[in-house]
Amino acid sequence: MNNTGRIVLSEMLSPGTINLRLDGKQRDEVLAELVGQIREIATQPQARQTLLNALQEREQLHSTGIGDGVALPHARNALVGLVDHPILVFGRHETGIPYGAIDGAPAKLFFLLIAPTVTQHLSMLARISRILRDPKVRKSLLAADTSEKVIGTVRDAESKM
């Protein structure tokens, strides 16, 4: 979030929240890898498990695979007390994994969203969904070979919103 309180996705990403080499073979393994990127709960096994359980429960309700090789894992409810600010984690899987997306395409691009409030949660979901509609953005994210290129791609896409 910037100092006006607006969600700015590119400012939420850092090299530590980006994994360009996810290697899980199935959804739950990839979710665990993404959760492992969150330094705020890295030393709290119980918090990591709580988040992972919430993400798995959300996926059982309805897949967060939105098609075009993209998944937006998030918990249905704001995780009050788990984090005190919105967190965004990006992961990429070389070959993709089955994710139950409406188009049946395997997910290769993952944005894990966590927010302490429903308003922030919905704002993050709306912004990320909007920038990922652009096939050029998805293509750039698939091609990015550094964390900085991922952040730059998101920043450029946001500047056009």
What confidence score (pLDDT) does residue 75 get?
84
| Residue 74 among the catalytic residues | yes
First CA to last CA across the chain, in angstroms?
A: 16
> Mind listing the pLDDT tens digit for each residue in 72-107?
999 866 565 677 888 999 999 999 999 999 899 999
Which of the pair, 48 or 108, is modelled with greater confidence? Answer: 108
Q: What is the pTM of this model?
A: 0.93
Catalytic option among 74, 85, 93, 121? 74
Q: Is 67 left (phi over 0), alpha (psi -120 to 50) or beta?
A: left
Q: How far, in Å, CA of 57 to CA of 3, rounded?
A: 33
Give pLDDT tens digits for 15-66: 999 999 999 999 999 999 999 999 888 888 888 898 999 999 999 999 999 9
* pLDDT value, residue 137: 98
- Write down the domain spans for the chain: 14-159
| CATH no. for 14-159 | 3.40.930.10
Q: Are 113 and 125 in contact (CB under 8 A)?
A: yes
